[in-house]
Structure 1
Amino acid sequence: MLVILGFLMIATFMVLIMTKKLTPILALIIVPTAFGLFAGAGFGIGDMVMDSIKDMSSTAALLMFAIVYFGLMINVGLFDPLVRLILRKLGNDPAKIVLGTALLSGAVSLDGDGSTTFIVVTAALLPVYQRLGLSPVVLTCVAGLTNGTLNIVPWGGPTARAAAALKVPASDIFVPLVPSLVAGLVVSLGFAWMLGVRERNRLRAADPIRWSREPAMAGVASSGASVGSVGGASSGGSAGGADPAAGSMADTALDPDRESLRPKLIWFNLALTVAIMVMLVVNVVPLPFVFMVGCAVALVVNFPHIGDQAKQLASHATSVIAVVAMVLAAGVLTGVLSGTGMVDAMSSWLVGIIPDSLGPHMAVITALLSIPMTFFMSNDAFYFGVLPVLSNTAAHFGVAPVEMARASVIGQPVHLQSPLVPAILLLVSLAGVDLGDHHKKVLWRALVVAFVMLAVGIGLAVIPFG
């Protein structure tokens, strides 16, 4: 019964948000509560949810102060030179902009932290998207897909968890999978280019006169679509000035004439941001505290007057409330899944239905299972709860633990799109995108990337077929 309820709960949640019957936050609260009560949780459901929310409180704090910090850096002008450089190098060609989104996402994703990647990418490129009238769903799709593909780096969470769970070196997991990673990135870049071309064609069809001009001139006119960015600005109006890059930034979150600019403090702000990024990598101080201190220092230095400080904090309230509420609401789903025993029951059922005749194919089966299982449960639950059981079973058929570990990370392109992953909630919140719209565009592409990575791994025999 718990198995059926678990899968039905996940399916109900996905259907409701993808058909826009409920917002993700409401679906994350209402659906698990209804199924948890039906499963017999009773009044104990409150303790289940609160325990889960306690575990997620540090994540909520991290995302809250990270949003405020990078929002401040946008307001004071830290990212303006980067956006100008992007516009000059890529022009206003939508296809090149979307491909550049994938390349920037891939470069920043090398630090192994999805939240940092999405903050930097949206800060740098969302104003460009809104200025050219590009769909922000394309941004979330490309950024999420690229980051999910790169989530198997050895210093990232999944590979480290697999290595710890099966007691194998992380390098032995990752290095043989490098060709699979390269293939996955090539497919991701291909999807980015096709999405960019589609956006270019859409814009040309909507306004053929404007987009028949030179690409450098096309972007000086813009759609008036409002985008819920970390800067809290929306596009509109026409740009002027001799520099097309500066013109494309007018009337956006990176308006070159905004009052909050602090050009004389750009080197201080850059040094502070680099210091925070270094602290993220070395991880010697809890990350929420790092961003708390960073926000406090940035506010005091850039806005010494208390009224300006309050105004800056208030300007990011919408983004903060959206993402923190989403993270806390996700605690209801994870709390019910674990507290009622649904996760354990679903895992045991999946392991139990594998017949002995498929034993030699356990690596491939594990790779296929990792796709849905890491989507509806946390990485900790899968790598420390399910993977050891699968690996012990596979050992009877001669499949080595390191081969099982490699197979287990194949589902990461899909995992990163899960509503249980705080980073993806941060991405859609910053971009002002509905989670259901993001899933419609990204999930099938993430599946393709995962299958390509698996096929390459099988072809090179680093993931044994049998």
Structure 2
Amino acid sequence: MLAILGFLMMFVFMVLIMTKRLSVLTALVLTPIVFALIAGFSFNRVGEMMISGIEQVAPIAVMIMFAILYFGIMIDTGLFDPMVARILKLVKGDPLKIVVGTAALTMLVALDGDGSTTYMITTSAMLPLYIMLGIRPIILAGIAGVGMGIMNTIPWGGATPRAASALGVDPAELTGPMLPVIASGMVCMMVSAYVLGRIERKRLGVIELKQPSHTNETAAAVEDEWKRPKLWWFNLLLTLSLVGFLVSGKVNLTVLFIIAFCIALIVNYPRLNDQRERISAHSSNVLAIGSMIFAAGVFTGILTGTKMVDEMAISLVSLIPEQMGGFIPAIVALTSGIFTFLMPNDAYFYGVLPILSETAVAYGVDKVEIARASIIGQPIHMLSPLVPSTHLLVGLAGVTIDEHQKFAMKWAVLAVIVMTAFALIIGAITIF
């Protein structure tokens, strides 16, 4: 019964947001509440599940909210202007080069393993170019989301350590054969970016950038009011120090961004009125993304607390026919994206994956192959509305999450298919 309600809840949720009957925020909150009550849980118990889910995402939400404020301040001060100017000079107004460069930058920055950092740096650097050249921002969001999903399978990414610990396998044994598979995903992403870049080049042409006209000189002057060219080196060193601490992992991310934001705000805008103005300028984005993350916490809290996610996993595993036992690694690879789209990574790797592994072992499949297969679906996972950093990405890019999913899903599925096929070819996972 719980499994049926769980699948029905997911279906209703997706229909509601895809058809725009409800906003993502209200659908994330109301849908699980209704289905939990239908399942027979008391309102008080549902409330406890909601609080539990909110408590789990609270540190992430606070970190992302202050990160938005920090990078917003850095954009206001003009920190990224020289970078944008150099890139424009290099690409000479060619949308193809911009789009391919986005893919390369995403996967380079994603080496730190953190989605929020990757999205903030990539969008801060590339979005002004997209706007200036007229390239659709949905392409930036799609490439960043799918690219981060591919890189989430690196040894220190979000998925691989979970898979290794959940099944008790040697991380080196898990990741060694997967490195070529990850490389195949990166190549797929670059080819996809090239295709999208060609489409934009055909639509826009190679654009000759011109100096601002008199009609927008006033707007430029207003914007320049917040620039801080004399503090450029300070802002650069502050940002590089922040990124260095982020990569080191020695300091809590939330603490880092709170402190960095306060320092950046005080140094760049000493006057209290200016500080209020800058916070107000970015407050709508902060509120929208922060509330969305807390709403996702409500959804996952109820999904986990009602045990719907456990029953859904058991029911799906039971659907695997006995004669398909030897194909379980490939099945896990192709379905891991679906599982992790519908539930958080922790729920999948610590709840669903052990069940899949035990089933596979019964058919003579080594559990390390199941661990390898389980991480391949991450490009799809990173498009899920249950991933907090996804809301950060769409907020920064200025697109809605349903638009992002519709655009990026086909490229994410392509990456998963390519990675699965390559894993089978090189023997990282096998079928018999």
- Number of residue pairs the alignment of both structures matches: 430
Q: Mapping of 1:55-454 within 5 angstroms?
A: 55-203=56-204, 211=205, 215-217=206-208, 219-220=209-210, 239=212, 258-454=224-420
Q: Quick one: which of 422, 427, 431 aligns to 1:461? A: 427
Structure 1: gaps spanning 5 or more residues: 204-210, 221-237, 242-247
* Conserved 8 A contact 2:334-2:416: no
Q: Mapping of 1:31-50 within 5 angstroms?
A: 31-43=31-43, 44-50=45-51
| In the alignment, structure 1 residue 22 sits paired with structure 2 residue 19 | no
- The alignment partner of 2:54 has SS state of helix
Structure 1 segments of 4 or more deviating over 4 A? Answer: 248-252
Counterparts of 2:79 and 2:22, CA distance in 1: 37
Higher helix share: 2
* Conserved 8 A contact 1:184-1:452: yes
* Structure 1 length-normalised TM: 0.88
Q: Partner letter of residue 160 of structure 2?
A: T
- The alignment partner of 2:159 has SS state of helix
Counterparts of 1:63 and 1:136, CA distance in 2: 21
Q: CA RMSD in A?
A: 2.1
Q: Partner letter of residue 186 of structure 1?
A: V
Q: Which moved more, 1:255-264 or 1:153-162?
A: 255-264
Q: C-alpha displacement at 1:170, in angstroms?
A: 2.3
* Structure 2 length-normalised TM: 0.95
Q: C-alpha displacement at 1:28, in angstroms?
A: 1.2
* Conserved 8 A contact 1:18-1:439: no
Report the CA distance shift for 1:154/1:249 in structure 2 as closer, same or farther (over 3 A). farther
- The alignment partner of 2:224 has SS state of coil
Counterparts of 1:9 and 1:420, CA distance in 2: 14
- The alignment partner of 2:383 has SS state of coil
Counterparts of 2:280 and 2:187, CA distance in 1: 41
Counterparts of 1:83 and 1:459, CA distance in 2: 41
* Conserved 8 A contact 2:77-2:228: yes
Structure 2: gaps spanning 5 or more residues: none
* Conserved 8 A contact 1:17-1:435: no
- The alignment partner of 1:304 has SS state of coil
* Conserved 8 A contact 1:82-1:124: yes
Counterparts of 1:364 and 1:251, CA distance in 2: 55
Aligned to 1:207: none
* Conserved 8 A contact 2:119-2:392: yes
Counterparts of 1:442 and 1:302, CA distance in 2: 37
Counterparts of 2:263 and 2:25, CA distance in 1: 32
Q: Partner letter of residue 127 of structure 1?
A: P
Deviations 1:162-204 (A, max 9, x none): 111122232322221122222212221222122222223333x
Q: C-alpha displacement at 1:22, in angstroms?
A: 2.2
Q: Partner letter of residue 81 of structure 2?
A: D
Deviations 1:189-243 (A, max 9, x none): 222122222223333xxxxxxx5xxx351x44xxxxxxxxxxxxxxxxx7259xx
